[in-house]
Structure 1
């Protein structure tokens, strides 16, 4: 079981080296093909303009987007050409308006086993970075591996933390992450403050652990109390305590609107990620 078709997307030079290196390492380890997409994004949203001025604004914005696409393409090529000669990859450059970005990314993510992206939040990141991540997850229906600036320690992480809350999203993430889980030495299923009523009240995480073990995954369950204000804080502390090399979790358990306004575990983890985060919805 392995990923055979990988995709990475860059709309700037920020975060390209660490993301490309991680994507290339995974492609080499799993004998996969890596597709790279360089995006130039026209961020102008012209509501109205005086006669004769609109075309000038649009043309200038598209010229700027083309320059950004060429810069991102150059960064991708530089990073990919620095990898092992046996790496199979292709690079494509596209210019799009912000409103059409979702369709462009989703059209390629749908035919990829895994999308590898840099952190969508933080210094140097913009609204288009968040849009790319969400396009791959939701419209693209692809799992996403988010790589922090520090990069990925290994293409086959040996210690993985899997966040479990009995949700559909968490189960989808566990299934989509199976190629990584089967290669790990230890997969710790972490359940934070499980409900006292429900199907798993007597054995939180037990059925998931059974499923994974039957697939050959070396899994165990850890039930933790919510001793910090946010679930994401507890997960982050556990990742550090066990020196995990990857976190697997379901993306956006609440409505996306509520997540955008109030945050949520997904957003908090992405804002302060120290290790690669595997997301699926």
Structure 2
């Protein structure tokens, strides 16, 4: 099993380097095809303009979005042409509120979607909807990559955040090409429940499943000694010099995650290594 169809979505020239570097390195390692979708985002909120201004402002923002898409496509083609991978690139314009439809159309046919971190200084508001569109509207696996991290298409030390959820298991299955070539995979269980099917052997069944695929595993059972689960995971990443995290995305309802933050958002805000997620 290997990734053969990789997608990235470029909406900001300043955020393009990390996903393009990582996706081309991964494509070379996996003998995969790279697809790049360059979107000029129309951020017009027509309902907030005074009467008579809508058409004029809408035309101006559409013109700007088309020019932005053309610039992104030119930049992307230049970068991909310098690589040794098979690639294709396309451009388009999407309204901010309609990003999900455009992204899902491409992402649902990809093995993995590589995107920049959606949070941080100078990160546009459209980056979060890109990640959510790939996860929810396309049911795709997403690899979120930090801004200033050198690509590593063959991480040897990987952490799995295991909480017995179907989201986590989906992420693990999607990450199998990475897991099978890793030197060590750590199954991290934080405060396992005292009642449940895995209470006597946290992570044991998952370890057995992965071992049958030839994955070398260790199980790390940790206590929640910090306020948030993401804090514990990120500290463990640093302690063990891990090179990737695999985790389920949005275990609670998306509304609850948006209001309270949630482990997914906190992880994506703080992560210093690539995070592979699925829902």
Q: TM-score range by the shorter chain?
A: over 0.9
- Report matched runs for 1:165-244 at 5 Å: 165-244=163-242
- RMSD (CA atoms): 1.2
Deviation (angstroms), 1:123: 1.2
Structure 1 residue matching 2:139: 3-state secondary structure:
coil
Pick closer, same or farther for the CA change 1:239–1:50 going to 2, 3 Å.
closer
Q: Over residues 114-135 of structure 1, what are the superposed CA-to-partner deviations in whole Å (9 max), with x where a residue is unaligned? A: 0000001111112211001100
* Aligned match of 2:74: 74
1:153/1:101 Cα in 2 relative to 1: closer, same or farther (>3 Å)? closer
- Structure 1 equivalent of residue 162 of structure 2: 164
Aligned to 2:41: 41
Q: Contact 2:10–2:38 at 8 Å: present in 1 too?
A: yes
Query: How far 1:50 sits from its partner (Å)?
Result: 5.5
Q: Could you list the per-position Cα deviations for residues 220-253 of structure 1 after superposition, in whole angstroms to 9, with x for gaps in the alignment?
A: 1110011111110000011111111100000011
SS at match of 1:47: helix
Tell me the SS of whatever aligns to 1:165.
Answer: coil
CA distance in 2, matches of 1:153, 1:108: 23
In structure 1, what is the Cα distance between the partners aligned to 2:236 and 2:146? Answer: 17
CA spacing shift, 1:193–1:119, aligned 2, 3 Å: same
Equivalent position of 1:29 in the other structure: 29
Structure-2 residue corresponding to 1:133: 131
Corresponding residue for residue 13 of structure 2 = 13
Q: Kindly provide the CA deviation profile for residues 136-161 of structure 1, in whole angstroms up to 9, marking residues without a partner as x.
A: 01001100000101234410111000
Task: Find the counterpart in structure 2 of residue 245 from structure 1.
Answer: 243
**Which of 86, 89, 92 lines up with 2:90 in the alignment?**
92
Greater alpha carbon shift after TM alignment, 168-177 vs 63-72: 63-72
Match of 1:223, SS?
A: strand
Q: Is the 8 A contact 1:69 1:94 kept in 2?
A: yes
Q: Show structure 2 runs of 5+ residues with no match.
A: none
**Is the 1:8–1:35 contact (alpha carbons within 8 Å) kept by the matching residues of 2?**
yes
CA contact (8 A) 1:112 1:142 kept: yes
Q: Kindly provide the CA deviation profile for residues 34-54 of structure 1, in whole angstroms up to 9, marking residues without a partner as x.
A: 000100011112116566432
- One of 267, 272, 275 as aligned partner of 2:273: 275
Q: Can you list the C-alpha shifts for 1:80-120, whole angstroms capped at 9, x where unaligned?
A: 12323xx1001100101112110000000000000000001
The alpha-carbon distance between structure 1 residues 76 and 151, as it changes in their structure 2 partners (threshold 3 A), is: farther
Evaluate the alpha carbon distance shift between residue 126 and residue 214 of structure 1 in structure 2; reply closer, same or farther with a 3 A threshold: same
Q: What residue ranges of structure 1 are gaps of 5+ in the alignment? A: none
Residue pair 1:16, 1:79 contacting (<8 A) in 2 also: no
1:92 alignment partner, SS class? strand
Q: Normalising by the residue count of structure 1, what TM-score does the alignment of the two structures yield?
A: 0.96
